[in-house]
Every structure is written in structure tokens, then in C-alpha cells.
Amino acid sequence: MSQVEWFTTYLQYENLKDMLSVILYTSQSFMTITPLLYNITYHNKEILFIHTGIVGGIVSHYHVIEDKPKKKFVELNKMTGDFTFINHIGSNTQSLYIPIVKLIKSTLRFPIENLDED
């Protein structure tokens, strides 16, 4: 087990809205950091994930989705938590615009091997 694996905690979310609420929370923290939303194909599954944490380890928040995202951004309403996939950054001041970064390769090892059995 590598040092990165040792300090990485994985949290799988039941739905994407719950995972995106982590972005809302961190964007309103005193550091006002908005995490990126990453997409990767891992063991033939499409995963959207974000990273949080600096000191004491990294938390990888993830959700398995049916298909690759066809849009480039998520528009996340800061007031309601509602979201939609879009292709361009908009001008709604009530929303965060989060880019979806498509990864080819990663050293992360998502714990999804037995996902079909759930």
C-alpha cells in the first residue's frame, strides 16, 4: 500500500446531488475553495469525483454514473443545491460553475469491485 493510498479515504455517495453538496460546503468555507469535478472510467464504470482535504489525508468523494457526461460543466445553484449539466459558463450569480475534468489515468483505487452486487 502506497503512502497516497494510506492517506486517502473514499466516500461513495448514493446520488450526485449529495456529493455536490460537499462542493457547496467547501465553497462557503473560510478558504473559499471550489473543488474540481473529475470524470474517469474505472473498471468499466463512469465515476465523477472530487478531492477535499490537505492536512491529515485526502478524501475522495465519488459517485458512479450511468454514462460519460456529455456536457463540460455543472451549474450548481448555491441556494437550492439543484444542478444541471451545461456546455458553457453562464452568468447566474446564484450558481457555481464547476468544470468537469476528464481524466485518462489516475493512481486512485476506487473501492467499486463488487458494485454490481449492491
pLDDT in tens, 1-50: 444 456 788 999 999 999 999 888 887 766 667 778 999 999 999 999 99
With respect to residue 115, please indicate whether it lies within any of the assigned structural domains: no
Residue 58 lies in a domain: yes
Query: Is residue 118 one of the residues assigned to a domain?
Result: no
**Across residues 63-81, what is the average pLDDT?**
95
Q: For residue 43, is it within any domain?
A: yes
Domain-located, residue 111: no
Q: Is 116 part of a structural domain of the chain?
A: no
Evaluate whether residue 29 is within a structural domain.
yes
Task: Specify the residue for cell string 473559499.
Answer: 32
Question: Who has greater pLDDT, 29 or 77?
Answer: 77
pLDDT of residue 118: 45
Q: Which residue has the higher pLDDT, 100 or 108?
A: 100
Counted domains in the chain = 1
Segment holding 10, helix H or strand E = strand 8-12
Give the structural domain span for 87: 3-104
Q: What is the pLDDT of residue 97?
A: 94
pTM: 0.83
**Is residue 110 included in any domain, yes or no?**
no
The beta strands (E) that lie in 19-106 are given as 37-42, 45-52, 58-65, 73-77, 83-86, 95-102
CB 50 within 8 A of CB 63: no
Q: Is the pLDDT of residue 92 over 90?
A: yes
- C-alpha 37/C-alpha 74 separation (Å) is 9
